[in-house]
A and B are shown apart, each in its own frame.
Chain A
Amino acid sequence: MTRSVFFRFVVRVMLPVLFIFSLMLMLRGHNEAGGGFIGGLVASSGVILMTLAYGPDEVRQRLKIDFLRLMFFGLLIVILAGLVGLIIEGEFLAAEWWKPVLQGIGQLELGSPLLFDMGVYIIVLSVTSSIVMSMADEGERMDD
């Protein structure tokens, strides 16, 4: 694949923006449009852009994340979020909220649904990224 320098530059600028945007989408999901899915997808679009710009091998070197393993951590988090409800409320997946008020920042809303959404975020991110990178690998081999 031919990758232009300009494209690489754009991607480098875009990446942090996309990543922060995706986290924001995930966190606000409970109240406004957004959530783990969308967040994860946006984050993975960053990885996709990187893959297109640098090729899968370089992305692996730079990110040092094994997405195939990461997704199982995401699944563990999802299960954990379910178990929180089971242990505290006695109902699997029951919502459990913890809302400490922090001086100067305001009220934080932490809860098992948020944990759940985080798990979903991680899974969607890592699944999409690993699929795209596997496919891109194939393209690399083809070029050889």
Chain B
Amino acid sequence: MQILLVLPLILPLLIGCSALIRFRNIRQTVALICLFLNMLVCLLLLVETHLYGVQVVQSGGVIAPYGISLVVDSLTGVMLAISGIIGFAVGIFSAATIAANHQRFAYYPLFGFLMMGINFAFITGDLFTLYVAFEVMLMASFVLLTVGGERSQIEGGLKYVTLNLISSTIFLIAAGLTYAVAGTLNMAHLAAIMAEQPSPGIGTVLAALFLIAFGIKAAMFPLFFWLPASYHTPPIAVTALFGGLLTKVGIYSMWRVLVMIFPQELAYLQPLILVLAALTMIIGVLGAVAQTEFRRLLSFHIISQIGYLLMAIGLLTVDSMTGAVFFMVHVILAKTALFFVSGLAYELEGTYKLKKLGGLSKRAPGLALLFLFAAFSLAGFPPFSGFWGKLLLIRSGLEIGQYVIVAIALAVSLLTTYSMLKIWTEVFWKPLPKQDTELASPHKRLSPLMLAPVGVLVGLIIAIGVFAEPMYQLSEAAAVGVISPVSYIEAVLLPGTGE
């Protein structure tokens, strides 16, 4: 039990330590094995949490709330599992696509540290440790973003770093003030304390601080500028990992901190969050509409999807949170898969510009099919995972009569279809523009190693679409666990009852 909760931290750290190995191939093999084991451990944790309830480890054996509790409840289980899967997929994809000179600069170790930060953020039950986890994650992402030193990477990186540092600063202030107000940093303890406080009060201020801090990380309107400025600059495997997971850690933290610890305060902020959610969706999708480059277009879509997840927080019902967890899993899978596809299109034709791409449905029909599934899933068509995610969110809005946000969500969904069709038309259906035929590498084929990760992710997208009920059960358990965290609090603060 003990070791299982610590492994999601140790295994990625071991990838980090693999930097000591001199031979690139061995380093890569070690990294992939660790990523695979990490995925297994995360899936195992999900199963265990689902069967036996909230799992807790008090690190160093220090009783809560004095030490740092590592907690895996349903939500954490789901998030760990999905990040484990994505981590392994990106690992394989990196092996196929990351250039050797890139790997010389500790690509896999950095990747490992990033995964460690992500897992750490999911698994920790302590507010300050969450800050530390964010810093690990951010620092690793800073470096991954800028390794290579292309001008665009440096420029994008500067904006990414600066705005995210502002976010970290606000987070740190918020954590410090929370300790001043509530005298503790343990999330379970905080949730128990804040539940007894009248609202609005000082808690509302704290909630607002966290909203801004996590809002920057999650790329919420109007705090998202760092994302489109930087996400398209690094190698595509890195972009895929960032696009799939990083902003979602911000959303996860909103759920964990805002929804679990400050639910009453959040109720006070609800109208504001709904407005921001609507604007995030709209601005994101309009930004995507304006793009004519594959990666940029997908990057802006990240923002739009964040809007859907914010909408769930704004609605704040069990149904909306269930839909949000479901949607989150879906969007991580679909987004990563789409970034992969853009990278493979680049492999084949040497550009990301929609205008210069073309003819891929003939040249790479398998890739075309995978893109089609992932894109239609993102646009919310059945029978893919995105359909249920969208449906659950919209239903939760209709249930409590929030028709405006529902209408906006539906309209944005149409625009998502619009921009996915744009990519499909330009990249896959349109014949390759004549003047660029000599630019393309006509004999290059996609190796199975490149296609396999996309295939697995798309397979999951379809599987979730077809077997929606189990995924719903998991999502609902996660949502209930966050909205009424009784079992979480008991498991952390009263050891022995949670098992």
A and B touch in the complex (CB under 8 A): yes
Q: Give A contacts to B, CB under 8 Å.
A: 69, 72-73, 75-76, 79, 82-83, 85-86, 89-95
Q: Are B2 and A90 in contact (CB under 8 A)?
A: yes
23 sample A-B contacts, Cβ–Cβ < 8 Å, listed by A number: A72-B16, A72-B20, A72-B109, A73-B20, A75-B13, A75-B16, A75-B17, A76-B17, A76-B20, A79-B13, A82-B6, A82-B10, A85-B60, A85-B61, A86-B3, A86-B6, A89-B61, A91-B58, A91-B59, A92-B6, A93-B60, A94-B61, A95-B60
> Which residues on B sit within 8 Å (CB–CB) of A91?
2, 57-61
**CB < 8 Å: which of B3, B17, B57, B59 contacts A72?**
B17
Shortest Cβ distance from A68 into B: residue:
B19
Asked if B19 contacts A92 (CB within 8 A), the reply is no
A75 to chain B: which residues have CB within 8 Å? 13, 16-17
CB distance from A84 to the nearest CB of B (A): 11
Which residues of B pack against A, CB within 8 Å?
Answer: 2-3, 6, 10, 13-14, 16-17, 19-20, 57-61, 109
Which B residues are CB-close (under 8 A) to A79?
10, 13-14, 17
A72 contact set on B, CB distance < 8 A: 16-17, 19-20, 109
Q: How far is the CB of A117 from chain B (nearest CB, A)?
A: 14
Specify which chain B residues have a CB less than 8 angstroms from the CB of A89 in the assembled complex.
Answer: 61
Q: Provide the main secondary structure of the chain B interface.
A: helix
Q: How far is the CA of A72 from the CA of B108 in the complex (A)?
A: 14
**Distance, CA A95 to CA B61, complexed state (A):** 9
B7's nearest neighbour on chain A, judged by CB, is A92
Closest residue of B by beta carbon distance from A70: B20
Cα distance, A89 to B20, chains bound together (Å): 29
Q: How far is the CB of A137 from chain B (nearest CB, A)?
A: 15
> How far is the CB of A82 from the nearest CB of chain B, in Å?
8
The 9 closest A-B pairs by CB, nearest first: A91-B61, A93-B60, A94-B61, A92-B6, A72-B20, A93-B59, A72-B17, A94-B60, A72-B19
**A69 with B61: CB separation less than 8 A:** no
| A95: chain B residues within 8 A (beta carbon) | 60
**Contacting residues, chain A, for B19 (C-beta < 8 A):** 69, 72
Q: Nearest CB to that of A83 among chain B residues?
A: B10
Query: CA of A69 to CA of B109 in the docked complex: distance in angstroms?
Result: 12
* B18 closest partner in A (C-beta): A72
CB distance from B70 to the nearest CB of A (A): 8
**Nearest CB in chain A to that of B58: its residue:** A91
How many angstroms from the CA of A79 to the CA of B109 in the assembled complex? 15
What distance in Å separates the Cβ of A112 from its nearest Cβ neighbour in chain B?
10
Given contacts A92-B2, A94-B60, A95-B60, 8 further A-B contacts (CB under 8 A): A72-B17, A75-B16, A79-B17, A82-B10, A86-B6, A92-B6, A92-B59, A94-B61
Q: How far is the CB of B115 from chain A (nearest CB, A)?
A: 15
| Minimal beta-carbon separation of B252 from chain A (angstroms) | 22
**CB contact under 8 A between A92 and B60, given known A79-B10, A86-B2:** yes
- With both beta carbons as reference points, the residue of chain A lying nearest to B109 in the complex is identified as A72
A90 to B4, CA, bound (A): 12
- CB-CB under 8 A from B109, the residues of chain A are 72
Closest to B9 in A: A92
Q: How far is the CB of A111 from chain B (nearest CB, A)?
A: 12
Return the chain A residue nearest B3 by Cβ: A86
Q: What's the Cα separation between A76 and B19 when bound, in Å?
A: 11
Residues of A within 8 A of B3 (CB): 86, 92
Docked pose: A92 CA to B3 CA in angstroms: 8
What residues of chain B lie closer than 8 Å to A82, measured between beta carbons? 6, 10
Q: In the docked arrangement, what's the CA distance between A83 and B60, Å?
A: 10
Determine the chain B residues whose CB is within 8 A of the CB of A86 once the complex forms. 2-3, 6
CA distance A82 to B2 in the complex (A): 12
Question: Which residue in chain B gives the minimum CB-CB distance to A92?
Answer: B6
